[in-house]
């Protein structure tokens, strides 16, 4: 029997994965325009979570300015593209912070993240345990990298996941679509923003 389409607000938390300025309000005008719908979706998603009394957890990807905390492991993709496997913002800079429209409030939680998973080395899993939350609502970017990595790890931690489509993004459209439409379906429920908002109201 299929699981009912609901989210128990008392057991859920929202993870705003890497919704930093570098990603959502980049300096390039064309890129900033392209990311505006995602930022707007996050404004709605965070408002819905707060209205439902669901804790909001932010992550932001950071590394030290001297890269002492970055391990540049060899990967096929980095060899093919010349792009390092980790390209975090510099810790303490403005781009590692959050757009004003979705800035964290005092009651929210903010975690610095140095690896792709929302859980590895962050304390997010421990916080969820402390708050007695076993369901995560998540979105962010890149969909096919950090979001999928986090959803897979959440599954290993016996956490139910709901991925919000409009809150996800990637520079690779094909990988973004495959992650949402195929890969993550084994580990999560993939839902539209309107659906998630309705699930939180019920």
| pTM greater than the 0.85 cutoff | yes
How far apart are the C-alpha atoms of 69 and 202, rounded to whole Å? 44
Pairing relationship of beta strands 56-63 and 89-90 according to DSSP bridges: parallel
Give the architecture (CATH level 2) of 9-201.
3-Layer(aba) Sandwich (3.40)
The residue ranges of every structural domain in the chain are: 9-201
> H/E element holding 202?
none
Q: What does the pLDDT profile of the chain (202 residues) look like in tens digits?
A: 455 588 999 999 999 999 999 999 999 999 999 999 999 999 999 999 999 999 999 999 998 999 888 877 888 988 888 777 777 888 999 999 999 999 999 999 999 999 999 999 999 999 999 999 999 999 999 999 999 999 999 999 999 999 999 999 999 999 999 999 999 999 999 999 999 999 999 8
């Amino acid at each position: 029997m299929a699981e009912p389409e609901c989210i128990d607000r008392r057991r859920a938390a929202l993870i705003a994965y890497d919704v930093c300025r570098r990603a959502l309000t980049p300096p390039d005008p064309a890129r900033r325009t392209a990311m505006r719908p995602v930022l707007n979706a996050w404004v709605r998603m965070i408002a819905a979570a707060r209205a439902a009394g669901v804790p909001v957890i932010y992550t932001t990807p950071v590394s030290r300015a001297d890269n002492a905390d970055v391990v540049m492991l060899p990967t096929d993709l980095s060899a093919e593209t010349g792009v390092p496997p980790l390209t975090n913002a510099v810790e303490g800079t403005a781009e590692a912070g959050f757009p004003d429209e979705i800035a964290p409030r005092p009651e929210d939680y903010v975690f610095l993240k140095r690896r792709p998973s929302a859980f590895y080395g962050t304390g997010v899993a421990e916080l969820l345990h402390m708050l007695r939350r076993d369901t995560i609502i998540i979105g962010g970017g890149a969909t096919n990298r950090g979001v999928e990595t986090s959803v897979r790890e959440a599954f290993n931690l016996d956490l139910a996941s709901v991925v919000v489509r409009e809150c996800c993004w990637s520079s690779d459209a094909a990988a973004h679509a495959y992650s949402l439409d195929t890969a993550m379906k084994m580990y999560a429920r993939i839902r539209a923003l309107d659906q998630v908002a309705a699930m939180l109201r019920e």
